């Protein structure tokens, strides 16, 4: 179960999650950071590091932010190139 960055990250982009990720699966986009679900190894290091509680296991994303599951997948694939 990969992790997902949701709405609380928008406009914050603290990036501390990026520094602890052992597989570099977190990518910066215009308004937030996103996690590539195919690269995520479910280590949970990013979740603990997020200062705005924006990172969730994909099965635990709050209902109002479910669209961020797809946003993380699509946007990270664009950047992975």
pTM, to two decimals: 0.94
Farthest CA pair distance, the chain: 30
Give the CA angle between residues 41, 28, 71 to the nearest 5°.
70
Domains of the chain as residue ranges with CATH: 3-80 (3.30.70.20)
Query: What value does the mean pLDDT take over residues 39-46?
Result: 97
Residue 70, H or E segment: helix 67-80
Percent of the chain at pLDDT > 70 equals 98
Instruction: Look at residue 1 and give its three-state secondary structure.
Output: coil
Do the Cβ atoms of 8 and 17 come closer than 8 Å? no
Q: Does 20 have pLDDT greater than 90?
A: yes
How high is the pLDDT of residue 74?
95
Q: Residue 6: is its pLDDT beyond 70?
A: yes
Cα angle: 26, vertex 68, 14; to 5 degrees: 45
């Amino acid at each position: 179960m990969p992790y997902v960055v949701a709405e609380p990250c928008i406009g914050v982009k603290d990036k501390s999650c990026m520094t602890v990720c052992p597989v570099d699966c977190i990518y910066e986009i215009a308004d937030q950071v996103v996690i590539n679900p195919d690269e995520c190894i479910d280590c949970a290091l990013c979740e603990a590091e997020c200062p705005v509680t924006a990172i969730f296991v994909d099965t635990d994303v709050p209902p109002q932010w479910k669209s961020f599951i797809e946003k993380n997948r699509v946007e990270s694939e664009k950047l992975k190139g």
